[in-house]
Amino acid sequence: MPGIDKLPIEETLEDSPQTRSLLGVFEEDTAATSSYFSQLFKAMQRIYDAQNELSAATHLTSRLLKDYEKQRFPLGGDDEVMSSTLQQFAKVIDELSSCHAVLSTQLADAMMFPITQFQERDLREIVILKEVFQIASDEHDAAVNRYSRLSKRRENEKVKNEVMEDVYTSRKKQHETIMQYFASLNMLQYKKKMALLEPLLGYMQAQISFFKLGSENLTQQWEEFLTNIGTSVQNVRREMDSDAEATEQTIQDLKAASDPLYMPDPDPNKIPVNRNLTRKAGYLNTRYKTSLVSSAWDRQYFFTQGGNLMSQSRGDVAGGLVMDIDNCSVMAVDCDDRRFCFQITSFNGKKAVILQAESRKDCEEWIATINNISKRIYLSENPEEIAARVNQSALEAVTPSPSFQQRHDSFRPSTQGRSGSQCSAGSESPALSSLSLDSLVAPDTPIQFDIISPVSEEHTSQAKSGAQGRRTNPFGESGGSKSEESEDSILHQLYIVRFLGCMEVKATESTDVIYETMRQILAARAIHNIFRMTESHLLVTCECLKLIDPQTQVTRLWFPLSSVVLCASHQENKRLLGFVLKTAGGRMDGRPVTVCYVFESNNDGEKICDSVGLAKQIALHSEMDRKATQKQRDLDKAKEKQQEELHKQKQIEKDLEEQSRLIATSSRPSQSAADGQFLVLSNSQSEDSEAGEEGQKKGESNA
């Protein structure tokens, strides 16, 4: 007889989707076998129960045997030897259908017993093993899921040991159960043949012994045929016994060899990491987004095929393409407080996949394998050269890097075009790669999810007196009192926004700080399950930015436009935008504080940023005009002051000339007095002389 199709017991530990698919074929064959044997059993049962209708029952059996070749068994459907043998049996049974009379005892022992044993023992055992295997598989999946959710930050050794022991026990139980299940299915292929042939052989032998057929009905040819069939059955039995012994030995060897592999995170000293792989397959947890701020994980079977990364779920016939890993970049990352996570980014930076391995060894091997495929390293080369080129890069990739560009290429698209031949992990710009998280965001910075404005602290008293009990018109119109913004502001833009959060930042030179703040705030909302957002109206004017309550029209936040140093929207999700605000003296020590506010808008975030930019330009031009006007006023005042000084100087000179003339007049009589003649001056002349002297002294002091 031709060879028996068997399930590969060596692949039971891996439990790949291909193995599950092959198992499904065997289970379909078992269902078809059970259905067929149920009909055959009923036919033989009718032979046993109704002796008067034995001829009709024998004819039915003959017809079923003739229809065997029309049956579509997933396994062994093209067994021509079995089909021809059954055809000959059908012919003999049809010829002897009218000769059976009293065969109850012989038929019960030789025909009904083997098929009853096959029905009640062998097929029932398969059903029970299938149920046990399903339970063990579900327990293993649950244990692995609990193990995957172990916290990396809050690691508890006791909980970790309990979970790892649970994984070990469930995996061992599943492996032993599936090996026993596969072995029983393989043995069923032999038992099916025997269960089909032995009742027929017993039936024929009972007929021979009962009727003592002579040479007319049972010639030497038929005896030789039956002898050959008996010999064939014995050969099948011996082959089954030999295969059962080999299968049992294989199971024992696999159990001994697979015991270290039951642990999810084996000791790397016992099982070293192979960094020279160019092909790898296994189960990984993949991260996918379920909403804007939340994500979930799914366990799938991943494998490499050429330059592609493929995935396949249980029950799928074939795998699907995940991404092209030629010239891609791969590195270990921290994600959702899970261990052994790594990220694969496509060559153009537009697609990234975050995966979680089961152990550090598995994570390092996946990173090394993808690096080998990405750099076109093949095992046909010298293994020592491969190890020298790959070992260092794999070690660097396994260690999480704080580089902003490396960690968040999947969060925002690349701002530079890349050529196809140079798109790799090393093609990052030096400016971006030098930016670290500490240079962007202050360490240990809390995130505020409620509306708190450190920018408006210096305006607290003014805000309390002006905003409390007063409705702020977002369009700048006021009834009797002057609004906080100028009445003649030429720009008033109103947008609907939702406040996501804010945090203190350090760098203000690049929009990367806004992208990093968005990432941290959205991640914190997802971790802490914070989904409530405060909706407000954002009013953009040439003097300030305002957040206004849409119900009460009360100003919630007030930002001077001069404090806005950066404004940008997310390059993938255009509804996200952020402002970086700088205030002076916000700390206790008087140092300035820089805070980044993140919002979600119903409109395009770029439009809001354009409005803010336009407002700053208008404010800049207004400030320049104001300074020019003030400068002109200062020049006019300086000119007027200079004219006044010149006028005073001329008046002083005129007074000095008058005093000099008076002094010259008064000096003439004094010359005649010197010749002995005395001149008597009147009182008025002496007073004029004294006034002239005082005027001269006053002029000299003013000069």
How many helices (H) does the chain have, and how many strands (E)? 18, 14
| Terminal-residue alpha carbon distance, the chain | 139
pLDDT at position 132: 92
Q: What are the structure tokens assigned to 597, written together?
A: 């506010």
pLDDT at position 246: 92
pLDDT at position 457: 41
Instruction: Evaluate whether 202 touches 114 at the Cβ level (below 8 Å).
Output: yes
Q: What order do you get walking across the sheet with 492-504 strand by strand?
A: 555-560, 544-548, 534-541, 492-504, 593-601, 576-583, 564-569
pLDDT at position 663: 86
pLDDT at position 590: 64
pLDDT at position 424: 32
pLDDT at position 342: 93
Question: Could you say which residues of the chain have pLDDT below 50?
Answer: 1, 377-435, 453-487, 671-689, 698, 702-703
Alpha-carbon distances of 358 from 150, 160, 285, 319, 371, rounded to whole Å: 11, 14, 8, 21, 19
* Alpha-helix residue ranges (DSSP H) falling in 336-410: 360-374, 383-398, 404-407
pLDDT, tens only, 225-271: 788 888 988 998 999 999 999 999 999 988 888 887 788 877 777 88
Q: What are the structure tokens assigned to 457, written together?
A: 């602290």
d(CA 511, CA 580): 9
d(CA 542, CA 260): 70
Place of tokens 């011996």: 238
Q: Which residues contact residue 649 at a Cβ distance below 8 angstroms, ignoring those fewer than 6 apart? A: none
> What DSSP string runs through 200-250?
HHHHHHHHHHHHT--TTTS-HHHHHHHHHHHHHHHHHHHHHHHHHHHHHHH
Instruction: Evaluate whether 144 touches 48 at the Cβ level (below 8 Å).
Output: no
Instruction: Evaluate whether 603 touches 495 at the Cβ level (below 8 Å).
Output: yes
pLDDT at position 12: 84
Instruction: Evaluate whether 358 touches 264 at the Cβ level (below 8 Å).
Output: yes
* Alpha-helix residue ranges (DSSP H) falling in 212-358: 220-258
pLDDT at position 683: 45
d(CA 536, CA 485): 18
